[in-house]
Structure 1
Amino acid sequence: MTLSYVDRHGGNKQFLWGLTYTESGARCTTESWHNTVSSDDVLQMMEKVPGWGEPMKALSKACWVLQIGDAAETFLPTSGNGVTQAIEDAVTIAACLQNASRDEIATAVRTHSLLRGDRVATAQLLGFYNAERFQKTDVEAVGKDAKVSAKLPKWIYTSDPEYKAAESLREGGQPLMNTNIPEGYVPNPWTMEGIEKLYADGKHVELKGDWL
């Protein structure tokens, strides 16, 4: 596990970096908040850390293996919703399987993925929006106009994943219309590269629809 951040409050322009690793049996280091290392030591250690593997698909072709929670989706802390969405994953797949027969397991798993895909991607996007509000918003401006503040909208905490799953399976054969996202919002695929380019161009994440 790694942790890195700039010490903005200290005003010393220091970059704080931490790495959890396994030491050899012959070496034992005492934990301390004051030990420092050189940048060369950090770079050498980074060379020893394996990189990320190839990303796996959310579900297997036969729909017998399904990823949920942090294994399937990651959230910025500013979304305030990572654990909630992991629980919703578990509740949704459980409800889908409960309302399906043994011959409909694949259908149940695909229904779960359709229900969760748009909602998760939308909640993740909210994290980027809120990050801008937390990091770049003038506190005095929030008092004058609440629209510039971070959002914790009702569509996040009022959705009933168990009911949505059962309802979707009861309407078998009909096109799935997600109602667990902001009203009036049409989900569009987005990427981290796209977000970074948006920031590089001096633009901001915009939320279209009723996100309140």
Structure 2
Amino acid sequence: MSETVVDGVQRLPENGISVIIIGAGVSGLQVALESWRKGCDVVIIEKAPELSPVGDFFTITPSALTTLKCYPSMHSDYHERIYNCSTHVYTPSGVQIHSKFPEWRQPGVVTAAPDVDISFLKRRPVFAKMQLDQVTRLGIPIYWNESVIAVHEHENSVNVVTASGQEFTGDVCIGANGISSKISGFDAGPDVAVQDSGYAIARVAFPRSSIKSDSLASTLLKTIDSEPEFRVYVGKDIHLILFLTPDWVAFAFTHADSDNAKETWTNLKRPSDLIPYLEKAADEWDPAVLDFVRSAPPEIVDWKLRWRDGAEQWTSDSGRLIRLGDAAHAFFPTAGNGAVQGLEDAVSLAECLRIAGKEFITKATKVHNKLRFERVSILQQTGFINREELHTADTAAVTGNREKANIGFFKIGRWVWNHNPEHYARDNYDQCLAHLETGAPFHNTNLPPGHVYQPWSLSSETERMRAGIKSTLKENGDWSA
């Protein structure tokens, strides 16, 4: 069969692979798009009645946008709202101690997605709606309000059953259904317990118009009409982020003592509930910042940061079931990479399915898993390191010292954002498969150059921090920009 073009998207010939995706989040929608583009027959099953409007902003770096050019309409939609913001570090009292642009926006830098004007942050609901619109234009079916209750894996197929009695049969089932979801029969890798990390994050996005023009908070907005700002205020065991744009603003702060936080987005707090957390973290706060927090609507989410240690296996033993995104690897917001790695997963897995074809589909999922695990694991660990660096920052040392100011997510590394997951899967598939089947030598190169991977866990990181031992993760290999 020949290639076809739908909505400007060039689709490879149909390959006979039937893909069932559980979950219509950012990762689930992207793997649907990528799998369809590679010639697969795709269906999405989502337990919610519609696309969730929940969420504020997240970071999407170039490595997650390498295939955006393949979707002309979505490419255009993405560029309708670009936040080319500068990034800053402040003391709680409001003294600016560091300022820079993201690493991939430095002069002369060419990224893995040169056709995309990379926005440092995107509003999550807007990004997901952009994906959903593209899914709709391509005619990929989504079954809303369908809760999957059982998955049955057979030698040559997978059967998925929903609470309403619907049944779906396919060649492979992708679980893109989040960190805590459990489905009978979906046995893809070990069942690793979800744990309380001891931290929570309070966050909300709201229209700029909610801030009164004559308020103290409004003084923070006077310089952002031409250049949005991403501000981080570093305090004792806390950091507060303000994201300021001409139309939307947001704040998020990660704090210890999550006893009162919940595991769902239904735990809403008033702005006044959050002020004690901030006052506990610093003796003096910029009054404008406190007023900004008080200006927020009374629906602030205080989300318990749950953690699940990384499992090296994301597939079932046979390979017809595979986890994707948060379902495979939990991320803390301080990593600034959760959504990015879910999107990279989608691109990598779809390319592996294309290379393998229907006959060797169970090999494709395992190769993808091997290609991705170490990269993802290292970036998961940065969530701990970044939070630690932000929560223990020596503001005097940071002031005026560019190198010392590269703390937290201000230091990312070219190896992270300049990766192309599609090309990597294509270039390394055969060698990785030979390694899995015969033990032939293979080492991932989608890591910091020179990095030696070291297993770790929530327990090992907690013990290290309690002992006052500084992490050497970002000294393991080349993390330069």
Residues 5 and 65 of structure 1: CA distance in aligned 2, closer, same or farther (over 3 Å): closer
Q: State the Cα deviation string for residues 123-146 of structure 1 (Å, max 9, x = none).
A: 111222211221111233223251
Equivalent residue number for residue 389 of structure 2: 133
Residues 86 and 140 of structure 1: CA distance in aligned 2, closer, same or farther (over 3 Å): same
The secondary structure found in structure 1 opposite 2:322 is coil
Alignment of 1:157 onto 2:417 = yes
Alignment-mate amino acid for residue 33 of structure 1: R
Matches within 5 A, 1:160-199: 160-171=420-431, 172-173=433-434, 174-199=440-465
The secondary structure found in structure 2 opposite 1:146 is coil
Alpha-carbon distance between aligned partners in 1 of 2:344 and 2:263, rounded to the nearest angstrom = 30
Equivalent residue number for residue 209 of structure 1: 477
Alignment-mate amino acid for residue 196 of structure 1: T
Alpha-carbon distance between aligned partners in 1 of 2:271 and 2:388, rounded to the nearest angstrom = 32
Residues 178 and 147 of structure 1: CA distance in aligned 2, closer, same or farther (over 3 Å): farther
Equivalent residue number for residue 43 of structure 1: none
The secondary structure found in structure 1 opposite 2:390 is helix
Q: State the Cα deviation string for residues 127-183 of structure 1 (Å, max 9, x = none).
A: 222112211112332232514622111111100000011111244535332111101
CA drift of 1:35 comes to 9.9
- Name the Cα RMSD after superposition: 3.4
Maintained 8 Å contact 2:238/2:391: no
Counterpart of 1:108 (choices 364, 368, 371) is: 364
Alpha-carbon distance between aligned partners in 1 of 2:377 and 2:402, rounded to the nearest angstrom = 27
Equivalent residue number for residue 346 of structure 2: 90
145-154 or 155-164, larger mean C-alpha shift: 145-154
Maintained 8 Å contact 1:100/1:169: no
Alignment of 1:19 onto 2:298 = no
Counterpart of 2:270 (choices 33, 43, 68) is: 33
Q: TM-score scaled by structure 2? A: 0.34
Q: State the Cα deviation string for residues 66-94 of structure 1 (Å, max 9, x = none).
A: 00111111111111111000001111100
Equivalent residue number for residue 401 of structure 2: 144
Q: TM-score scaled by structure 1? A: 0.74
Residues 169 and 4 of structure 1: CA distance in aligned 2, closer, same or farther (over 3 Å): closer
Alpha-carbon distance between aligned partners in 2 of 1:159 and 1:201, rounded to the nearest angstrom = 34
State the identity as a percent: 32
Alpha-carbon distance between aligned partners in 2 of 1:136 and 1:162, rounded to the nearest angstrom = 38
Alignment-mate amino acid for residue 94 of structure 1: A
CA drift of 1:62 comes to 1.0
Alpha-carbon distance between aligned partners in 1 of 2:332 and 2:272, rounded to the nearest angstrom = 29
Alpha-carbon distance between aligned partners in 2 of 1:93 and 1:144, rounded to the nearest angstrom = 41
Unaligned runs of 5+ in 1: 22-30, 37-51
Alpha-carbon distance between aligned partners in 1 of 2:415 and 2:271, rounded to the nearest angstrom = 44
Residues 119 and 5 of structure 1: CA distance in aligned 2, closer, same or farther (over 3 Å): closer
Maintained 8 Å contact 2:331/2:383: yes
Q: State the Cα deviation string for residues 39-68 of structure 1 (Å, max 9, x = none).
A: xxxxxxxxxxxxx99x98521111001001
Alignment-mate amino acid for residue 317 of structure 2: K
Equivalent residue number for residue 70 of structure 1: 326
Structure holding more helix per residue:
1
Structure holding more strand per residue:
2
Alpha-carbon distance between aligned partners in 2 of 1:107 and 1:145, rounded to the nearest angstrom = 46
Alignment-mate amino acid for residue 262 of structure 2: L
Alignment-mate amino acid for residue 361 of structure 2: I
CA drift of 1:211 comes to 1.5
Counterpart of 2:316 (choices 40, 51, 60) is: 60
Alignment-mate amino acid for residue 270 of structure 2: W
Alpha-carbon distance between aligned partners in 2 of 1:106 and 1:20, rounded to the nearest angstrom = 34
